[in-house]
Amino acid sequence: MARRSEHTQEQIKEMVLIAAEGIVTEEGEEALTVRKIAQHIGYTVGSIYMVFTNMQDLLLHINARSLQQLSLQLATVSGQDSPEQGIVALAEAYLEFAGQNFNRWRLIFQPRAKSHASLPVWYREKVESVYAPLESRFKALKPEISQEQAGLAARALWSGVHGVCVFGLEGNPGAAGMDASRLAARLLTENFILGWKQSH
């Protein structure tokens, strides 16, 4: 068992998050317990509660890291030849992230991970960073619309793409599920853009 003096609280916090992410990735959210994390890092359960208030606090930080990773992945999507192509590429990038990080992606939307009465500002900023690249593409598509309209379009489309991920990957997270989801996401996105352009 590691001695408490061997690491700072920030180091222990990072160790906890890495261990928790590993457990979720390999075994799913249901397998995640504070006791199992403690065993992985060689510290006591009490040491974990020195750096996280409770399990909900820990889950919030795990999800924040997943959202940040997703945001960085979306930021690598190039401008493409047109805003429309950029939007389709972002939807496909979201799907790829969900498929490659299935259990961590699922955790973001689990009730146990969303039980905070009000999400802190720093977490909401992580969520907004996922919408931002899509909002900018909608604004480029129709510069005359307001930022609020672009944000609404981004949220509506992300909700639809997320639904494709749920139905396509939940029951079949393998290659077949990914291929079917990719086709469905492209169909949904292209038709959403078409309808959105005609209504604005």
Structural domains of the chain, count: 2
CATH for 117: 1.10.357.10
Q: Residues 93, 73: contact at Cβ < 8 Å?
A: yes
Domain presence at residue 58: no
Lowest-confidence region among 155-159, 160-164, 165-169: 165-169
Judgement on whether residues 47 and 77 belong to the same structural domain of the protein: no
Same domain, 5 and 81: no
What would the pLDDT profile of 95-143 be if each residue is shown by its tens digit?
999 989 999 999 998 876 655 557 899 999 999 999 999 999 999 999 9
Q: Answer for the pair 82, 126: CB distance below 8 angstroms, yes or no.
A: no
**CA geometry: angle 7, 9, 11, nearest 5 deg:** 55
The torsion of the CA quartet 61, 66, 71, 75, rounded to 10 degrees, works out to 130
Q: For residue 78, name the pLDDT band (cuts at 50, 70, 90).
A: confident
The CATH number assigned to the domain holding 45 equals: 1.10.10.60
Q: Write the DSSP symbol of residue 101.
A: T
Q: Which of the four pLDDT bands, split at 50, 70 and 90, describes residue 1?
A: very low
Let me know whether 69 and 46 are in one domain. no
pTM given for the model? 0.87
Indicate if 85 and 184 belong to the same structural domain: yes
Q: Retrieve residue 83's tokens.
A: 């805003």
Q: Is 10 exposed, middle or buried (0-12, 13-18, 19+ CB in 10 A)?
A: exposed
Please state the separation of Cα 26 from the chain's center in Å: 17
